[in-house]
Amino acid sequence: MPRTKPNIIITGTPGVGKTTLCESLTGTTDLKHLAINRVAKERECHAGWDDALNSWVVDEDKILDAIENEVRQGGYLIDWHACDLFPESWIDLVIVLRSNSTTLYDRLKARNYPEQKLQENMDAEIMEVLLDEAREAFQAELVVELQSNTSEDMEGNASRIETWVGQWTHERCHEAAPDTHNP
């Protein structure tokens, strides 16, 4: 059965505003926020805690098994710093949020990231690691890069995605409707 609601990955380096954007969109669309870090913790889809990185070591196979039935139905904003593990057949749009180095550094510093984790994330953003990953894992027309430095950027990004969701939904409704003009 085809999905009637899209699945969108919101990805990017930690600190670019993925969760903020997802929370904004859940208030203006009928999509649900699926935070992979939360799923990993709550559904025990991890291989333990990494003290050096101050984060869970996510078991990607367990994550996919845990969310498959939900995501196949559609209607999710998948919030995570990686996207290449998700099957392309599950995904309708990949948003890669980007941030300039100064803004990102300040955000990560405010989170009290350990120096190693802060530096790894800064390097990943500068080297466009997550953007490249998205472009390698998904068709070019599914991947959209958006800047996320200011509140104006975030508002514009939310508006742009809301418009896309409306168009996607409208197209699916017309595809599913029977053609009454040509019996």
Check residue 114 and give its pLDDT. Answer: 86
Residue 7: enclosing H or E segment and its boundaries?
A: strand 7-11
Query: For the whole prediction, is pTM greater than 0.85?
Result: yes
Residues of the chain under the 50 pLDDT cut: 179-183
| Residues 124, 99: Cα–Cα separation, whole Å | 11
| Residues 110, 102: Cα–Cα separation, whole Å | 12
| Residues 105, 124: Cα–Cα separation, whole Å | 12
Check residue 177 and give its pLDDT. Answer: 54
CATH topology classification for 7-170 = Rossmann fold (3.40.50)
Going from N- to C-terminal start, the domains of the chain cover: 7-170
Distances (CA, A) of 152 to 2, 11, 23, 163: 35, 19, 16, 17
Expressed in angstroms, the distance from the first to the final Cα of the chain is: 23
* pLDDT tens digits along 95-142: 999 999 999 999 999 999 889 889 999 999 999 999 999 999 999 999
> For residue 182, what are the contacts with CB-CB under 8 A and spacing of at least 6?
none
Residue 71: enclosing H or E segment and its boundaries?
A: helix 60-73
CA 33 to chain centre: 9
3-state secondary structure of 94: strand
Distances (CA, A) of 142 to 47, 54, 95, 178: 31, 32, 8, 27
3-state secondary structure of 115: helix
| Residues 80, 34: Cα–Cα separation, whole Å | 9
Q: What angle do CA 157, 158, 164 make, to 5 degrees?
A: 90
